[in-house]
């Protein structure tokens, strides 16, 4: 029994014994030793692998963080690119707006130049080449001067008449049947035709004038000593002391007083002296200087010293 190995296995069915000889005993011992060695080697390898796995996990964590950082940076770049794109779009839009504005300014300048050249032509002034700032100021002053005159001194027709039936000068009076001086112009017109003020002024008289034979009469006072008379009216639309402006409706034509038919008797007086109204009827901004040569009874030269009519004094300020 010394050279035999007996192994007893006990089960629910009983016990059995197995006997190994010496060789089997050595093989078993070698197996046990190898199993032990394998166990320890496996454990050692497992420890090494575990450390390697931990290192891999740590590397994975670092890579994950780097990836997240890279993704965050990429997202930041994307946002910056979006902002840059919006900025570029805004700049492009502003550039287009500036371009359009420059075009509008160019068109405005061209229109202004055309207007100034047109104003120069309208005023009948000589063409002095390119219009600079000084020339533009001169044109503006000249235009304002003329407009001031045209609103202050009677001009234009006071009524849309059928025709002029009698002019200024000596004539046979249609009612008195004797030669007398006719101090105005008669406009043949239907009764009720509107009559308009020919300059800014104030109403001196508005009503029925018994002693003159004018019937219903309006007298307007204007600047520089001028007055206008509107006689034989059917209706008076203004009152004494009332201010009126050029072109304002003041009455309606009629046949009152010493009159043989519906018409408007229109007079212009300067310092109580009747003046032929005919040159004033066609006087306007384009033929402005003609009045001062045609009408001799007014000392026009003295008006040049009055503000705002003195162009040169304004330019020197």
Residue 165 belongs to domain spanning: 157-281
Spatial separation of the C-alpha atoms in residues 91 and 98, rounded to whole Å: 10
Q: Does residue 174 fall inside a structural domain?
A: yes
155 pLDDT more than 90 = yes
pLDDT digits (tens, 9 = 90+) for 30-77: 777 777 787 777 777 777 777 777 777 777 777 777 766 676 666 776
DSSP state at residue 257: S
The whole model's pTM is what?
A: 0.60
* Average pLDDT score over the chain: 78
Domain match, 86 and 163 both: no
Q: Are residues 164 and 255 in the same domain?
A: yes
Domain tally, the chain: 2
Question: What average pLDDT does range 122-128 have in this prediction?
Answer: 61
Does the residue 115 lie in any domain?
A: no
Domain membership flag for residue 50: yes
- Which one-letter DSSP state was computed for residue 192? T
Four-CA torsion 73, 75, 80, 81, nearest 10 degrees: 120
Question: What is the C-alpha separation between 167 and 170, in angstroms, rounded?
Answer: 9
Q: Which two tokens stand for residue 258?
A: 């010493």
Q: List the structure tokens of 20.
A: 């190994």
Distances in Å between the Cα of 143 and the Cα atoms of 94, 122, 312 are: 39, 9, 14
pLDDT at 1: 47
| One domain, residues 87 and 164 | no
Q: What is the pLDDT of residue 40?
A: 73
Residue 271 lies in a domain: yes
Cα–Cα distance between 126 and 15 in angstroms, integer? Answer: 147
Based on DSSP, count helices (H) and strands (E) in the chain, helices before strands: 5, 14
How many other C-beta atoms are found inside a 10 Å radius of the C-beta of residue 158? 23
Place of tokens 């629910």: 12
* Gap between the Cα atoms of 232 and 208, Å rounded: 9
Q: 80 and 4 share a domain?
A: yes
Q: Is residue 106 in some structural domain?
A: no
- Residue 33 maps to a domain: yes
What does the radius of gyration of the chain's CA atoms come to, in whole angstroms? 58
Residues 161 and 246 occupy one common structural domain: yes
The 10s digit of each residue's pLDDT in 218-277 is: 999 999 999 999 999 999 999 999 999 999 999 999 999 988 899 999 999 999 899 999
Angstrom CA distances, 84 to 78, 81, 89, 92, 207, stand at: 10, 5, 8, 12, 80
Query: Where among 80, 100, 120 does a domain terminate?
Result: 100
Q: Annotate 130-146 with three-state secondary structure.
A: CCCHHHHHHHHHHHHHH
Per-residue pLDDT at 316: 39
Alpha-carbon span 127 to 113, nearest angstrom: 13
Tell me which of 141 and 315 has the higher pLDDT: 141
| CATH classification at residue 255 | 2.70.70.10
| Number of residues that make up the chain | 317
Position 112 scores a pLDDT of 45
pLDDT in the model for residue 254: 96
Flag whether 183 is in a domain. Answer: yes
Q: Give the pLDDT of residue 252.
A: 97
Q: How confident is the model at residue 314 (pLDDT cuts 50, 70, 90)?
A: very low
Residue 306 per-residue DSSP state: S
185: which strand partners?
Answer: 266
Query: Does residue 195 fall inside a structural domain?
Result: yes
Last residue within a domain, chosen from 54, 69, 100: 100
The pLDDT tens digits for 158-205 are: 999 999 988 998 877 766 677 788 899 999 999 999 999 999 999 999
Task: Quote the distance between the C-alpha of residue 76 and its chain's center.
Answer: 43
């Amino acid at each position: 029994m010394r050279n035999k190995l007996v192994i007893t296995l006990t089960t629910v069915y009983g016990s059995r014994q197995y006997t190994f000889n010496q060789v089997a005993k050595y093989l078993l011992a070698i197996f046990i030793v190898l199993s032990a060695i394998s166990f320890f080697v496996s454990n050692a390898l497992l420890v090494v692998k575990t450390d390697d796995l931990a290192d891999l996990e740590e590397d994975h964590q670092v890579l994950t963080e780097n990836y997240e950082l890279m993704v965050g940076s990429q997202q930041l770049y994307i946002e910056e690119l979006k902002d840059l794109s919006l900025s570029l779009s805004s700049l492009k839009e502003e550039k287009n707006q500036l371009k359009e504005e420059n075009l509008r300014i160019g068109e405005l300048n061209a229109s202004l130049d055309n207007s100034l050249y047109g104003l120069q032509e309208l005023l009948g002034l000589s063409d002095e080449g390119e219009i600079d700032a000084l020339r533009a100021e001169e044109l503006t002053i000249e235009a304002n001067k003329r407009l001031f005159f045209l609103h202050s001194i009677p001009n234009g027709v006071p009524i849309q008449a059928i025709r002029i039936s009698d002019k200024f000068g000596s004539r046979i009076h249609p009612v008195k049947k004797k030669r007398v001086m006719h101090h105005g112009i008669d406009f043949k017109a239907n009764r009720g035709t509107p009559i308009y003020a020919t300059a800014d002024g104030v109403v001196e008289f508005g009503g029925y004038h018994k002693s003159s034979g004018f019937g219903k009469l309006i007298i307007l006072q204007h600047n520089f000593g001028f007055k206008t008379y509107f006689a034989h009216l059917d209706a008076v639309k203004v009152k004494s002391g009332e201010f009126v402006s050029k072109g304002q409706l003041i009455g309606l034509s009629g046949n009152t007083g010493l009159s043989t038919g519906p018409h408007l008797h229109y007079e212009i007086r300067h310092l109580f002296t009747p003046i032929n109204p005919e040159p004033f009827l066609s006087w306007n901004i384009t033929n402005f200087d003609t009045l001062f040569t045609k009408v001799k009874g007014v000392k026009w030269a003295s008006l040049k010293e009055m503000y705002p009519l003195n162009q040169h004094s304004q330019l020197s300020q």
